[in-house]
Structure 1
Amino acid sequence: MYKIRTFDTYLADALRAADMRILHGPAAFGQTPYAKEYEVKRKAAAAFLANVGADGAVIDPLVRAPLPRGYRTTSRRRVMMLRREGQLLLANGDGSVPKVDAAEETLEPASHLGIFKSVETFLRRPRDPLAGAMNHVIVRGTYDEHVLILNVQFMDADIVRAAKRCAEYVRSEHPSVVSAWMFHDPRGSRYYLDMERTPGGIKSKKIFGHAAWRQSVNDVQYQVGVFSFSQINFAIVPAFVDVARTLAAVRPEDRLLDLYCGYGLFGASLASQVKNVVAMDLDEDTVGNARYNIGRAGGKALAIASAVTPQSIRKLWSMPRGRGAVESDVVILDPPRAGTAKGVIDAIAQGEPRRVVEIFCGHEEIRRSVREWKAAGYRAERIVPMDLFPGTLGLEVLISFVPERKR
């Protein structure tokens, strides 16, 4: 029986051909020179993407990472207590190893490592109530300014006071920490910003600073909520946006549908080049940032806080287009790793968009998506793999789809 080959199998082939060995764990290439890592990934990506069912599509070579090490703008540690030694430490984010992987540290900026060290020092103080309440420590933001998030399982007055002492101590050691927040996760989830929460209670609490940070991408200014999704590799985001813009090929008479919009990275970057933008994502605060960013970039935005489902897409198609000559639609969708929900692609195709750009951070979903677009009357036109996660086995892939027949 024919077995479908995954990207990992093509990567294994490329590693054997190069007589290379890599590490086990999330940072498999963390201690490999990037020139060698890139060449292996480039060959594996080309072989894999040639076999995803996108017949006739142009496949670009893998886009290099401009900053292959020390690039992460979001990193985390799991707070653990080693029972045998009776010692608190900050472990790998998933808590799977009772120490921090040295290879994974190479992917994080030195500033993050210093902040984690200061938090660990504080939590080791005797009789401090914060240590027993902690799930995760998260550092986010830009390369110059940082947000500290203390993810706690319990929250009461004593823990809040201890969290404030911790945050102030860290700020005294690292002035780049301009904002600090508590995130309440009573389930103690392995996901550091678990949004699947039980009703009631406090979700988050500000210690100091603002609820968003600011960043600039290709001369477009953005505000990003401290709990919103953002790309983990900010150094490559300008190139990422440029590729999406090229594949979208928008025109002034287009309406842009920015689905799974996050803080509006793509919607704001194209806002001045289209008639208007419809931005959709589940979290209301995140959508609020998208609305602000698109408007600040000179666009007209309709921001909808909703899960991207077949029902929400059909409702979107039934809405009035507003004033002005909107002649066609272009869709950019950037779903989570698991890909689009069942029926979403078909629902998008029912609106007959002129072009679609789908972004994949889970390469295992590409075949399914290509197959569904083909069934809905769209063909893959161009495929661009990007090394958004250097040092790891991951890739980001952007694919443009166009109707089989001109609409």
Structure 2
Amino acid sequence: MHPPAYGPLPSSITHLHPRRYTIRDSPGSSLCYAAGVSFSDTLRGLAANRGLALPPASHPEPLAALDYADERALKDEALARFWREQELPGTPEPVAAAPSPRAYRTTTKRRASLGPKGLALTFPGAAPARRGLSPSALDLPEHTAVYAFLIKRLSRPPARALASALNWAIVRGAAGGLAVVLNVRVFDAKVVRAGKQLALDLQGAGLGVRAGFLYLDPRGSDYYLEARRPAGTLSFKRLFGPDWLQVEADGVRLRFPPTVFSQVNGAMVAAITAAVRALLAPLDGCALLDLYCGYGLFSLTAGREAAHVVGVDLDGPAVEAARANAIHLRCADRVRFIAGRVDAAFLAGRLRPARAPEVVLLDPPRQGTDPGVAAALAARRPQRAVHICCGTDEIPREVAAWSQAGYALRRAVPLDLFAGTANLETLLLLEPGAAARGGSTPV
């Protein structure tokens, strides 16, 4: 029997049969959810039925060549079918459209390889090229211009030391406020000297680049900002410009370091903060627990009506940025940020009981929450939880974990944060009680 197509079975699986498999969610307990094809496979099958030609599944932008109306209709139908196949309760709401479905990415990256004809900057997983840039329909054009400039400058002999050491080129931000991060294998005198010269070139190029950085990653990792750095090494060097980026959301301006995660689709920040606020409401008199809080985007926007806010994130620089943002917004007296790994042990041992009726927000990475997180949160008896899934294939496991802990799915609100790809961001509203049946009301 084959495991579900959306990834390898967890090591904690104890039983498998044609429709459902069981995993241990915490010591002494297990949960069961339906097996089936991935959301991407469902989408591709429906596209074939409609006569829509898609590139291979490995393509990083498989839907970018479609008319956006066709893409939205395809995603709506695919998500509804995925919901039925996975035997999830209720019905997902229509996918909220992206205001800028192409040329929207405010964080982009390219894998670097240096050949005899110069530097190539290619998509992750793509075969190394002799020279040139992997084109993208989803990157901001300002980013494309910066990559073209980097290829030209770093293909010259004086820059060979830097080009040879380069793992990734990353561009962050929007027009007029771009930052370039060069992920390199070594920090030696030749690399730093070439980096400083490139910094001068970028500042004079008229490309809107306001900051540049070198980031040390001696492992040459597949992820462009490697967390497991050797102790005692210099990991980050500012070449020029401010050492922060910023985003405007819900009438406030928030700052964060260039190594910290932020939404890849800047045009959708307003939509997701509005959706989160609507699902969390009412917050008057409540305590908000914001898990995987990052630099405080939701704590400091959607959480403004809460009596108290506690944000938790593993990333120390993100937590420091969140604290600084709270001080800047003069709300540090009621908003507290803690550095820590969001797991069952942390939730049970480090967090004090809420001082008011509690509401929980979770925005975990694509792989979802650790086993036992839903159960540990349910033990706090929150009035409701809003769980954000940026990987559609993780939804069945997360809903099953909450269901076993006594919380039912009430609404599923998908947003097209990743237009042009086979991904969605889906907000799940969970409340104590039996599973909802039938449809739900749009936000």
* TM-score for the superposition, normalised by structure 2: 0.85
1:103-144, Cα deviation, whole Å (9 max, x unpaired): xx1101111011011111111111432111111110002343
What does 1:280-291 correspond to in 2, within 5 Å? 280-291=312-323
Superposition deviation, residue 69 in structure 1: 0.6
Superposition deviation, residue 22 in structure 1: 1.0
The corresponding residue for 2:121 is 90
1:53-110, Cα deviation, whole Å (9 max, x unpaired): 432x35210111110010000111111123xx543222224454526443xx110111
What does 1:97-112 correspond to in 2, within 5 Å? 97-98=128-129, 100-102=133-135, 105-112=136-143
C-alpha distance in 1 between matches for 2:385 and 2:43: 28
Amino acid at match of 1:32: L
The corresponding residue for 2:409 is 380
The corresponding residue for 1:148 is 180
Pair 1:36–1:320, CA change in 2 (3 A)? closer
The corresponding residue for 1:77 is 110
Of residues 383-392 and 283-292 in structure 1, the stretch that sits farther from structure 2 once superposed is 283-292
C-alpha distance in 1 between matches for 2:322 and 2:257: 10
In structure 2, runs of 5+ residues without a counterpart are 1-17, 20-34, 435-443
The answer to whether the Cα contact below 8 Å between 1:58 and 1:381 also exists between their aligned partners in 2 is no
Superposition deviation, residue 386 in structure 1: 1.0
The corresponding residue for 1:118 is 149
Q: Secondary structure at the match of 1:267?
A: coil
The answer to whether the Cα contact below 8 Å between 2:390 and 2:426 also exists between their aligned partners in 1 is yes
Matched, 1:310 2:339: no
In structure 1, runs of 5+ residues without a counterpart are none
Pair 1:255–1:109, CA change in 2 (3 A)? same
The answer to whether the Cα contact below 8 Å between 2:362 and 2:388 also exists between their aligned partners in 1 is yes
C-alpha distance in 2 between matches for 1:151 and 1:191: 10
Matched, 1:5 2:37: yes
The answer to whether the Cα contact below 8 Å between 2:399 and 2:409 also exists between their aligned partners in 1 is yes
Percent of aligned pairs with the same residue?
34
Superposition deviation, residue 175 in structure 1: 4.5
**Paired positions, count:** 395
The corresponding residue for 1:67 is 100
Amino acid at match of 1:234: G
Q: Secondary structure at the match of 1:253?
A: coil
C-alpha distance in 2 between matches for 1:143 and 1:362: 29
Pair 1:218–1:282, CA change in 2 (3 A)? same
C-alpha distance in 2 between matches for 1:376 and 1:143: 46
RMSD: 1.8
1:171-195, Cα deviation, whole Å (9 max, x unpaired): 2113511111110001111211111
Matched, 1:135 2:164: no
1:19-68, Cα deviation, whole Å (9 max, x unpaired): 1111120111122221111111111112223444432x352101111100
1:147-171, Cα deviation, whole Å (9 max, x unpaired): 1111110101221111011122122
Amino acid at match of 1:207: L
C-alpha distance in 2 between matches for 1:220 and 1:50: 40
C-alpha distance in 2 between matches for 1:79 and 1:101: 11
Superposition deviation, residue 298 in structure 1: 4.8
The corresponding residue for 1:190 is 222
The answer to whether the Cα contact below 8 Å between 1:253 and 1:274 also exists between their aligned partners in 2 is yes
